[in-house]
Amino acid sequence: MKVTFFSHSTCMLEIHEKCLLIDPFFSENPIFKNTNFLKKFQKIDYILLTHAHYDHVCDVELFSHKFNNALVISNYEISIFFGKKGIKTYGINYGSFISFPFGKLKYVWATHSSVFNDGTYGGNPGGFLLHTDEGNLYISGDTSVMYEMNLIPHFGKLKLSILPIGGRYTMDIEEAILASDFLKCDKILGVHYNTFQDIQIDKKQAKKRFFEKGKELILLEKEKIIYV
Ligand code: NI
Ligand code: MN
């Protein structure tokens, strides 16, 4: 499985030649503003959305317009919102694995909020648990640490967890360390930090804190790749 980090929570997963874009945030993102970011993408098959906040969904229409066969997977309310705009969507909610060509996917609980910029209700926020024959991956979405994370490893051993670490709106470093205990996963890709003034972290210190607990925190520069 190939994971490309763009910035904030935006990642691209490549599994079985399928390209899954997670929470696209470019046009309003200070790191990508005024760049031709769409040119970076040759193919997108799925767009996964964890919740309706603009820093996770603001470019869905742009991407769907360019890649009009891409299927937007999110909670029921978000799928209705984009479905009304003529975008292909697949609405789900908590509670079961659903099979796709890249593997099985489950929408899982997150402790956060979810509303569109225009005030439209964005359903319950969530994360995604992906079980594939290239390994299992957990994307928590914006959330604090929560006891429900203990359930995730019951479904299968994780290779990697993608967790927010910037604090204020989500977990900070110490909460993410606790989350990784709950998840029984020692390899964490940190996201949702340093994009804005109020979610700044010290990257060196963050890595050190994980290392002291026998865990690995991966922090990628923009557009860098890891293979899991
Ligand atoms: Ni959010
Ligand atoms: Mn966010």
Share of the chain above pLDDT 90, in %: 98
Residue type, 222: K
Number of residues written out for the chain: 228
Which tokens in the block code for residue 44?
A: 């997108």
pTM of the model: 0.98
Tokens in use for 216?
């690995």
* pLDDT tens-place string over residues 89-99: 999 999 999 99
pLDDT of 34 reads: 84
Query: Rg for the chain (alpha carbons), in Å?
Result: 16
Both tokens of residue 46? 């799925």
One-letter amino acid at 68 equals: N
The distance from CA 24 to its chain's CA centroid, rounded to whole angstroms, is: 9
Contacts of 14 (CB under 8 A, 6+ apart): 1, 2, 3, 4, 20
Counting as low any pLDDT under 50, the low residues of the chain are none
Could you tell me if 1 and 15 are in contact, meaning their C-beta atoms sit under 8 angstroms apart? yes
Hey, is 86 helix, strand or coil? coil
pLDDT of residue 33: 85
For residue 113, the ligand closest to its alpha carbon is: 1
State residue 83's pLDDT score.
Answer: 98
pLDDT score at 182: 98
Ligand with smallest separation from the Cα of 23:
2
For the record, the structure tokens of 224 come out as 């860098």
Ligand closest in space to the Cα of 53: 1
**What is the pLDDT at residue 187?**
98
- 10 Å Cβ neighbour count for 17? 9
For residues 16 and 2, give the distance between their C-alpha atoms in angstroms, rounded to a whole number: 10
How many angstroms separate the CA atoms of 170 and 167, rounded? 5
- For the CA of 125, the nearest ligand: 1
| Domains of the chain, earliest start first | 2-227 (3.60.15.10)
Residue 202: both structure tokens together: 């010290």
Q: How far is the CA of 192 from the centre of ligand 2 (A)?
A: 7
Measure Cα distances from 193 to 8, 56, 66, 133, 179 in Å: 6, 14, 28, 30, 17
For residue 73, give both structure tokens. Answer: 């997977």
CA of 125 to the centre of ligand 1 (A): 8
- Rounded distance from Cα 126 to ligand 2 centre (Å): 12
Token pair of 215, please?
């865990």
Q: What is the pLDDT of residue 52?
A: 98
**CA 86 / ligand 2 centre spacing (Å):** 25
Give me ligand 2 centre to Cα 22, in Å: 12
Ligand in nearest proximity to the CA of 167: 2
Residue appearing with tokens 């993408």: 41
